[in-house]
């Protein structure tokens, strides 16, 4: 009995030591992903913070000192940016709002129709069509830009607003998201019940399926809006009239001119800061709508 007690005592002590050291070890291991995320957030937000602070500096403060303290030249920079070529910057902003807003809205509508059809209806070639769309998701935009330019040149639409809007209407990734969300959010039983009640397919889609798909379509709209707003390559190829430029291409021309006129660099930085503001505002509005919509869906269910 005594030898058995002797053998049990060390094992009990070891178990107690493991119990004492277990939770702290797990906490230290859990800190690794947290620190990784913090480093990633710092890496992404540091350039944004620099742009915000640099936009407040005058040309002399920008080129003579490098600090993260705000400057005193934001008002002058904003006034100079507004006065540059009779306010062409705000025309660029308006063009971007048109391209991104209308393009994202039309793209969301096409994605809603296509995604719902691919998720609900069974027809020959459905999977083949969906696989072609997935191939479009993997296709780099630069490969499609030149053929799109040649097609629009044949119809005489280059250097027009349509040359930037039309290629953005069909988004393979948007159709993919809409199909996945429609398959998950719109039960087949609900669709069949609507058909048994005598509702038309259009009425089923607009009155039953579309409200259920709203959270997913908001996501499609947000992604497409950001993609069109940040698009540079397509307008660069399609447009030659700088009054039709979006904000990305307009800031690029300002940056090129800054090589000969360094004073324009402050305008570029201030313009870049202002160009980010609509995206942040849209994300905050959509996030609020997102939460309210998901909450109402949870209450209804």
Q: Which residue has the higher pLDDT, 73 or 25?
A: 73
DSSP 57: S
Closest CA to 238 of 160, 141, 295: 160
Question: How far apart are the C-alpha atoms of 232 and 282, rounded to whole Å?
Answer: 20
Per-residue pLDDT, 93: 95
Q: How far apart are CA 185 and CA 119, in angstroms?
A: 10
- pLDDT band with cut points at 50, 70 and 90 for residue 4: very low
Q: C-alpha angle with apex 150: 147 to 155, nearest 5 degrees? A: 130
HEC letters along 79-131: HHHHHHHHCHHHHHHHHHHHHHHHHHHHHHHHHHHHHHHHHHCCCCCHHHHHH
What confidence tier does 52 reach under pLDDT thresholds 50, 70, 90?
A: confident
pLDDT of residue 100 exceeding 90: yes
Question: Quick check: 19 pLDDT over 50?
Answer: no
CA distance 182 to 104: 19
Task: Extract the tokens encoding 197.
Answer: 């009640």
pLDDT digits (tens, 9 = 90+) for 105-142: 999 999 999 999 999 888 888 888 888 888 888 888 78
Model pLDDT, residue 235? 92
Please state the pTM of the whole predicted model.
0.81
* pLDDT tier for residue 6 given thresholds of 50, 70 and 90: very low
Mean pLDDT for the chain overall: 83
The percentage of residues in the chain with a pLDDT greater than 90, rounded to a whole number, is 30
41-50 pLDDT per residue, tens: 888 888 888 8
């Amino acid at each position: 009995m005594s030898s058995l007690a002797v053998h049990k005592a060390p094992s009990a002590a070891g178990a107690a030591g493991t119990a004492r050291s277990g939770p702290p070890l797990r906490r230290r291991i859990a800190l690794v992903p947290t620190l990784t995320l913090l480093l990633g957030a710092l890496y992404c937000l540091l350039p944004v913070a620099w742009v915000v602070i640099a936009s407040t500096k005058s040309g002399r403060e920008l080129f003579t000192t490098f600090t993260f303290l705000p400057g005193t030249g934001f008002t002058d920079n904003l006034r100079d940016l507004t006065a540059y070529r009779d306010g062409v910057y705000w025309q660029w902003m308006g063009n971007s709002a048109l391209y991104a807003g209308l393009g994202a809205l039309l793209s969301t509508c096409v994605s809603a129709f296509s995604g719902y059809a691919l998720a609900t209806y069974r027809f020959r070639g459905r999977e083949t069509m969906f696989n072609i769309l997935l191939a479009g998701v993997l296709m780099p935009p630069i490969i499609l830009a030149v053929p799109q330019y040649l097609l629009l040149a044949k119809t005489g639409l280059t250097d027009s607003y349509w040359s930037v809007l039309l290629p953005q209407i069909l988004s393979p990734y948007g159709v993919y998201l809409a199909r996945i969300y429609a398959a998950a959010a719109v039960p087949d039983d609900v669709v069949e019940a609507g058909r048994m009640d005598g509702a038309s397919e259009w009425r089923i889609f607009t009155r039953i399926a579309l409200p259920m798909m709203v959270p997913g379509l908001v996501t499609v709209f947000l992604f497409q809006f950001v993609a069109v707003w940040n698009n540079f390559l397509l307008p660069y190829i399609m447009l030659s009239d700088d009054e039709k430029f979006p904000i990305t291409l307009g800031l690029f021309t300002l940056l090129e001119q800054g090589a000969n006129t360094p004073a324009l660099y402050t305008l570029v930085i201030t313009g870049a800061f202002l160009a980010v503001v609509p995206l942040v505002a849209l994300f905050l509005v959509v996030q609020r709508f997102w939460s309210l919509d998901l909450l109402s869906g949870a209450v209804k269910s």
